[in-house]
Amino acid sequence: MLDQDAPPQSPGQSAAPVSPGVGARLMRRKPVEHLVAEGGQGEGGSLRRSLGMWQLTMISIGATLGTGIFVVLGDAVPKAGPAVTLAFVIAGLTALFSALSYAELAGSIPVAGSSYSYAYATMGELVAWVCGWCLVLEYGVSVAAVAVGWGEYLNELLDGTIGVTIPSVLSSAPGEGGIINLPALIVVLLAMVFLLGGVRESARANTIMVAVKIAALVLFCAVGFMGFKSGNYEDFMPLGMAGVSAAGATLFFSYIGFDAASTAGEEAKDPKRDLPRAIMLSLIIVTVLYVLVAGVAVGAWKWTKFEGSSASLAAIMNDVSGQSFWGTLLALGAVISIASVVLTVLYGQTRVLFAMSRDGLVPKAFGKVHRKTGAPRLNTIIVSLFCGALAALIPLGKLVDATSIGTLFAFALVNIAVIVLRVRRPELERTFRVPFGPVLPVLGFLFCAYNMFSLDTVTWVVFGCWMAAGLVFYFVYGYRRSRLATAGASVASEVK
């Protein structure tokens, strides 16, 4: 690419190529057609297109449904009181606006990188890197946080069936009095084994686990409703709207999985048609179940009892029924269903890094595809070991808020990307369009910003440190190794 600001050449003097300036290189965009054309291609092999709309919907539900109800509810209720149901609605609206934007972009740019790739096509390489770095935080830390919650329900199940539990020294992070959270590490490694077998086999296992988790939550509603007391709702908003906002920001963690379907863009049979449908359908199902279960839980238990209870649904069932059988049964459902969150979110993490590797922004190891299984094996192993270490050594609460802020930032960028792509590429085929023009994407951006500023200062400090580390890595590694930087004019961006 020639520098448009270069001085004119003298007659007879050949034009020497001039490198673009730093600003132009940071803003270089990857054409949509180029993104779509290279879909599925990796180092040494290709991803396989084997997922239909049903499997994509189950991936999205699998990555979303379970975390907020089974794990984070105990943290959110003490912040909002009975108004936690309202907090779920606020978080759901934030997710809905962003989901609409995701659906439009997934139908237009059906690739594995999710919001990272959407930003690359619309706002340039630096913004894409920031978005991808946020996704690494979102998916990687989410896997760890959910794995921690899985271990707590596993102990509940063991106590109800054989009367023993894993000692706290082996089931708690060092910051919580333990040495290592062994159950959390184990569930991440089990998910790794499934993913190494290929996406089709992983999708089948996930579908079974999603069916179990929905059945478990329906069972909870049926049993919990028998202990419903309207008096538990009398002081509906004991900590005011500030408490609802804080709970909503935490609960947004519960909705992050719906975008996992968009990371399967290069393994879907008909991504332009099926991805938007899967994203919207999964979000509707999840939101309805979240609000219903939260409403029953607060009605059956005084909100002050939720403090410090990570396995609150099982405890509620035991209290209401007067016997441990129902709580044990729910714990079994939770162990299976939370495992599906670990599986699908870990899948999303590997596919985002796969796309970033193909663009040259992270090492080639993340883009190598095994010829027999069609899965990025080395990528999967590296990511699983990293997430397993986080789950084994970091307390749950710290992980949840760090995940939420990274997700909200990425979602905010997706809402902007929709508007930018409509302006720059109005002729592009769109199998789904966000209604009401730019109004809903703007609302989505504002809702994300509102929830971000509801998080505490410590979370912002952690986020700032994470972003600083990411920028250092980009300028040391990705800036010069980017394929757009090395491939020349043939794949140059549309920077004007």
Given a cut of 50, whether residue 5 has pLDDT beyond it is no
In contact, 49 and 267? CB cutoff 8 Å? yes
Least confident of 92-106, 181-195, 283-297, 303-317: 303-317
**pLDDT band (50, 70, 90) for residue 419:** very high
Over residues 426-459, the pLDDT tens digits come to: 888 888 899 887 899 999 999 888 878 877 788 8
pTM: 0.80
The predicted model gives 306-323 an average pLDDT of 77
Over residues 162-187, the pLDDT tens digits come to: 888 888 888 877 777 778 888 888 99
Residue 206 CB partners (closer than 8 Å, separation 6+): 58, 59, 62, 340, 343, 344
> Would you state the pLDDT for residue 486?
73
In contact, 392 and 185? CB cutoff 8 Å? yes
Over residues 252-299, the pLDDT tens digits come to: 767 777 777 888 777 788 888 888 888 889 888 888 888 898 899 889
**pLDDT band (50, 70, 90) for residue 472:** very high
The predicted model gives 326-338 an average pLDDT of 82
Q: In the block, which residue shows the tokens 């804080």?
A: 246
In contact, 99 and 283? CB cutoff 8 Å? yes
In contact, 139 and 349? CB cutoff 8 Å? yes
Among 98, 123, 114, smallest CA distance to 27 is for: 123
Q: In the block, which residue shows the tokens 């999603």?
A: 210
Distances in Å between the Cα of 61 and the Cα atoms of 87, 146, 194, 424 are 20, 15, 18, 33
Distances in Å between the Cα of 316 and the Cα atoms of 258, 320, 324, 325, 399 are 28, 6, 10, 12, 25
Distances in Å between the Cα of 387 and the Cα atoms of 144, 149, 219, 382 are 5, 14, 31, 9
